Structure 1
Amino acid sequence: MATDDRDVIADIMRKTRIAILTYQDAEGRLVSTPMGTQDFEDPGTVWFITEVATEKVRAILANPHVNVAYASDKGWVSLSGTARLSRDDAKLKELWDASASAFMSTDVDDANSGLLEITGDTAQYWESPGKVPMLVKMAKGLLGGKAADEGDAPVVEL
């Protein structure tokens, strides 16, 4: 991946408070849930704190293929990869913060607290041209009877 692509992806991810994790449930339906990104040193590895005894974790253990979507004023990222449950207590303690305490019904020392580690295979991103140009493109599409062309998003190998 070009450094510029990786930098753009990382910037969008950092500026997004809540990501959307999509996984497949036991019946094969796609399910999306909001998750707070706890950490990533590289856009190819993302960490989420989670409660372990959940349908979400059971579904991910059965089928680890996931997508994580990020959206900020900077743009949008779609990260595709695999998830795994981590029981690394040291990493959990490193990542636990006030936001985790606010959203979790468990605490850092609870056996039901764990981590989801997402390893990205590919990412697509769309840089935001800003609010005014985006509105102009949308208006042109509506007035001209054609869909606004945003172009294809680059697929970036991670």
Structure 2
Amino acid sequence: MADTENLNQADVVSILRDSGYVMLTTALNDGKLLAHPMVPQQVTDDADVWFFIGMQGDQATALLKNPEVNIAVAEAGNWLSVAGRVEFVDDQDKKDELWNDQVAAWFTGGRNDPELGLMKVVGDSAQHWGLEGGKVSALAQIAKAKVTGDRTAGGSDTTEL
């Protein structure tokens, strides 16, 4: 877990790498927000996050017109929000590198499925809110706060990526 008062890029990378799923939010043409659960395929040391995406859905259509996104991670006592922008990448070698059985379950046409898109989210900034001590400690702090009526300790910080 990151220090909530001294967030840095390495903290953001660590949290993203530990996340099995994230919520990726974008804006539709009418301004409504659309969020989908996504599986990061790779998080680079620069905090770039790689995803596979179906190119025929509402999310891809919206992202092609407005690449600004938010990645959200939430777990007990630990919340991360990353603002960034999507870049669609046409790179068969990168697709091959990131391909795995989970992706194959969604894209039955394989690595050459015409609907299979590859995108990279380049982060601009991140904000983290959290409680000290990791998941178990955070759950205990939350439970204690409910019983005592006190606020949990913790804090937040923002960093540029």
| TM-score, structure 2 as length reference | 0.81
Q: Does 2:48 match 1:45?
A: yes
Q: CA deviation at 1:116?
A: 1.5
Match of 1:154 in 2: 157
Match of 1:103 in 2: 106
| 1:28-76 Cα deviation digits (max 9, x unpaired) | 1111101110112225311101111221111011111100112457833
Q: Structure 2 vs 1, CA of residues 61 and 14 (structure 1 numbering), >3 Å: closer, same or farther?
A: same
Q: 2:138 aligns with which of 128, 134, 141?
A: 134
Q: Structure 2 vs 1, CA of residues 132 and 41 (structure 1 numbering), >3 Å: closer, same or farther?
A: closer
For 1:80, give the aligned amino acid.
A
Q: Is the 8 Å Cα contact of residues 86 and 115 (structure 1) preserved in structure 2?
A: yes
Secondary structure of the residue aligned to 2:39 is strand
Secondary structure of the residue aligned to 2:41 is strand
Q: Is the 8 Å Cα contact of residues 27 and 62 (structure 2) preserved in structure 1?
A: yes
Q: CA deviation at 1:20?
A: 1.0
Q: Is the 8 Å Cα contact of residues 39 and 48 (structure 1) preserved in structure 2?
A: yes
Q: CA deviation at 1:130?
A: 3.2
Q: Does 2:90 match 1:87?
A: yes
For 1:115, give the aligned amino acid.
L
Q: Percent identity?
A: 31
For 2:80, give the aligned amino acid.
V
Q: Structure 2 vs 1, CA of residues 132 and 108 (structure 1 numbering), >3 Å: closer, same or farther?
A: closer
Aligned-pair RMSD on alpha carbons?
Answer: 2.6
Q: Does 2:2 match 1:7?
A: no
Q: How many Å separate the matches in 2 of 1:29 and 1:92? A: 30
Structure 1: runs of 5 or more not aligned: none
Which stretch shows the higher mean deviation, 6-15 or 123-132?
123-132
Q: Structure 2 vs 1, CA of residues 55 and 99 (structure 1 numbering), >3 Å: closer, same or farther?
A: same
Query: Aligned pair count?
Result: 155
Q: How many Å separate the matches in 2 of 1:132 and 1:114? A: 37
Secondary structure of the residue aligned to 1:82 is strand
Structure 2: runs of 5 or more not aligned: 1-5
Q: How many Å separate the matches in 2 of 1:73 and 1:87? A: 37
Q: How many Å separate the matches in 2 of 1:102 and 1:77? A: 28
Q: Does 2:28 match 1:25?
A: yes
Q: How many Å separate the matches in 1 of 2:93 and 2:121? A: 18
Structure 1 runs of 4+ with >6 Å offset: none
